[in-house]
Chain A
Amino acid sequence: MKNAGSKLFRAGDLIICFAVVAIAVLLFVLPFTKSGSSVLAVSVGGSTQRYELGQDREFVLENNGIMLNVKIEAGEASVVLSTCPDKVCVRTGKISAKGQIIVCAPADIAIWIESGEEDGYDGVIG
């Protein structure tokens, strides 16, 4: 353990440096391959269907005589049109973080983000 034989630089150090940089680059790339994994769950009158949040699409849901126009765009979901007089679901706006939910009670329809990134904290006091 004494200082004898401790050199400043050896060939193995290059491997360590290279490994550290390689892991850093790998972590740079990794989040982009994971970003399409958010799932939107749609429950109409009790039966649930799932959609990829990464794919842009528009579809119409109908229940109890009410029609909802759901739009998925750029990883965000929203109800753009509703024939229901309340319009609570339209005013909820866009949802994108895990756990967020849009509900139309008269139509018995709920839309929520099932998996994906959670909404971050506003702040943490140290």
Chain B
Amino acid sequence: MTALSVKKTACAAAFTVLALALSYFEGFIPLSYIIPFPGIKLGLANIAVMAACFYLGIAYAIGVSLCRIFIGFLLFGSVTSLWFSFCGGIFALAGLWLYTAFLKNTNGIIGSSVLCAALHSTGQCLACSAIYGYYVMLTYLPYLLLFSAATGTVIGFIVWRLISLKIYQG
């Protein structure tokens, strides 16, 4: 990890804004009408976090994700939503770190995206369990995991397209 670069920091800020805009935009997609299951979402904000990871590195991705969670909470969140998205975000970042540290040579972007989505679901389920009780993990998580395998693939493809564009050159 090199020292903090101004160019990278500015780019990370842009990615944070992109992540916030995407998570706001996600609210307009009436996914719950198609799949009537609470808690299911596409995870569009993860596009920006993953792009930040591939363009700038994992350290900047962590910054982008944490800033997005906190600013998102200030703009349109509640205390419960901060707790939920923080738990999900930390788990997703752990997945991203796992990918950059160990799985980079054996796995592609779809793999890392599915891993992030699955861990994000697990993290949110754990956060949910702390409030509702641990049986939530057994009844709710399987559906979320199956769905995150699907959304992870879609998001992974979008991230791959975004990286192919080479919008940032260090």
Q: Is the CB of A16 within 8 A of B115?
A: yes
- Report if A6 contacts B (CB, 8 A): yes
A37 CB, nearest partner CB in chain B, Å:
12
Most buried by B among A15, A17, A118, A121: A17
Q: Are B54 and A20 in contact (CB under 8 A)?
A: no
Q: Give Cα distance in the complex from A72 to B142, angstroms.
A: 31
Q: Mark B105-122, 1 if CB is under 8 A from A, else 0.
A: 011111100110010000
Contacting residues, chain A, for B137 (C-beta < 8 A): 27
CB atoms of B108 and A10 under 8 A apart: yes
- Find B149's partner among A12, A20, A27 (CB 8 Å cutoff): A20
Please state if A6 and B142 are interface contacts (CB–CB under 8 Å): no
Whether the pair A20, B166 counts as a contact (CB closer than 8 A) is no
Find residues 154-169 in chain B having any chain A CB closer than 8 Å to their own CB. Answer: 156-157, 160, 163, 166
Also in contact, A2 and B170, with CB within 8 A (given A17-B149, A21-B146, A126-B78)? yes
B32 within 8 A of A: no
Contacting A at CB under 8 A, from B85-128, are 100, 103-104, 106-111, 114-115, 118
A-B contact pairs, 14 of them (CB 8 A): A1-B54, A3-B166, A6-B109, A6-B163, A8-B109, A9-B108, A10-B107, A12-B106, A20-B114, A20-B146, A21-B146, A21-B149, A24-B143, A120-B133
Task: Give the B-binding residues of A (Cβ under 8 A).
Answer: 1-3, 5-13, 15-17, 20-21, 23-25, 27-28, 30-31, 34, 117-118, 120-121, 124, 126
